[in-house]
Amino acid sequence: MYALTEEQESLVGVVRDFASSALAPHAIEWDQTKHFPVDVLREAGELGLGGIYAQEDVGGSGLTRSDAVLIFEELAKGDTTIAAYISIHNMVVWMIDTFGNDEQRQQWVPPLASMEQLGSYCLTEPEAGSDAAALTTSAARDGDDYVINGVKQFISGAGSSSVYVVMARTGAAGTKGISAIVVPAGTPGLSFGANEKKMGWNAQPTRQVIFDNVRVPVNNRLGDEGTGFHIAMKGLNGGRINMGACSLGGAQWALDQAVHYLKERKAFGKLLVEQQSLLFTLADMETELQAARGLLRRAAWALDTNAPDVVSLCAMAKRFATDASFTAANAALQLHGGYGYLADYGIEKVVRDLRVHQILEGTNEIMRLIVGRALVDDAA
């Protein structure tokens, strides 16, 4: 499980080269100017990173979830914000590829897989975050169309994306009344809120997506009516381990920077790396990140093999990896002293970016709830 194949080694090398040349040199500037690098995302698409685990007949790369966690760790070493957006985009592509019919797959997946078009995932609402089953955005049937009304909140890529996969209520209250519907950009009645001012993730736009009598064909629905919640939760399993991998990549970069800094910086007449207490901090960081890496790969394997405990493992991996990574990145900032607080060093950006990973794709409190319930149910 832990030894990489030759193909994976080669894949990691290609992604590492892309991250170090196309992302890392610009990450701080993009963060400060709130620039969303659509042109660079298209370069990522040319490498097959827009449809990592989409099927090859529609332009996907046909890779595994085990491959994906390796990819997202490397991307995040270049820019955590852009890596996280690519993860969300891939969730959209996977949903259409997996739950769409052949006509839908052929229509929407190829331009998304190449990242000529971008995708956004619309689940969260102003009054429905962790309790996703309480969403109120409605899709009322009118002949051969759905008429969608409502507001989605915290949507990555909103305003720049061409395709929005929207979870909307087509039936009664609860999970069985939700359907997944594809809404193309430019549809009349579709609009967006202002770009949110955020603690981190500044290089990707985050806006409300507003539906005011948005009319789309019933044929834009993915799967059967009422299966949207199932589709959403299936997508989140992969999204959670991807976000854990993005956290891991950012934290690993911060740890590498801290090691380099301690080997260069002197205090009280000797190098900081010679201070035993600081070595202990590095050791703890390394141990936690290695543990996170192992758990993420275990969860990815479970997703690839459809293991019975996949939901719990993905939740566990997301919770542990995002918590451990934020702690490690924050420790790296502390080890840099005042320099860690300066934007030019990039450490404070990673700390800000990683903080939200403990919230999105299900808060870490919800992850604990999922794991705890699974444990109790298994013991029953």
Give dist(CA 380, CA 377) in Å, integer: 5
Residue with tokens 């141990």: 287
What DSSP state is assigned to residue 125? B
Residue 255's H or E segment, with its range, is helix 228-264
180: helix, coil or strand? strand
C-alpha 17/C-alpha 25 separation (Å) is 12
Q: How many Å apart are CA 295 and CA 321, to the nearest integer?
A: 8
- In one-letter notation, the amino acid at residue 11 is L
- d(C-alpha 48, C-alpha 295), whole Å: 26
Q: Please name the amino acid found at residue 64.
A: T
What is the chain's length? 380
- Which of the following is catalytic: 6, 73, 361, 365? 361
Burial string for 238-277 (b: 16+ CB within 10 Å, else e) reads: bbbbbbbbbbbbbbbbbbebbbebbeeeeeeeeebbeeee
Rg (CA), the chain: 21
Q: What is the dihedral of CA 290, 295, 301, 304, to 10 degrees?
A: -120
- Residue 14 exposed, middle or buried by CB count within 10 Å (0-12, 13-18, 19+): middle
Contacting residues for 187 by C-beta, under 8 A, at least 6 apart = 214, 215, 216
The two three-digit tokens of residue 324, written as one number: 């451990």
Question: Nearest-CA neighbor of 279 among 259, 264, 295?
Answer: 259
Is 56 tagged catalytic? no
**CB-CB contact of 176 with 229 (8 Å):** yes
Which residues are annotated as catalytic? Answer: 361
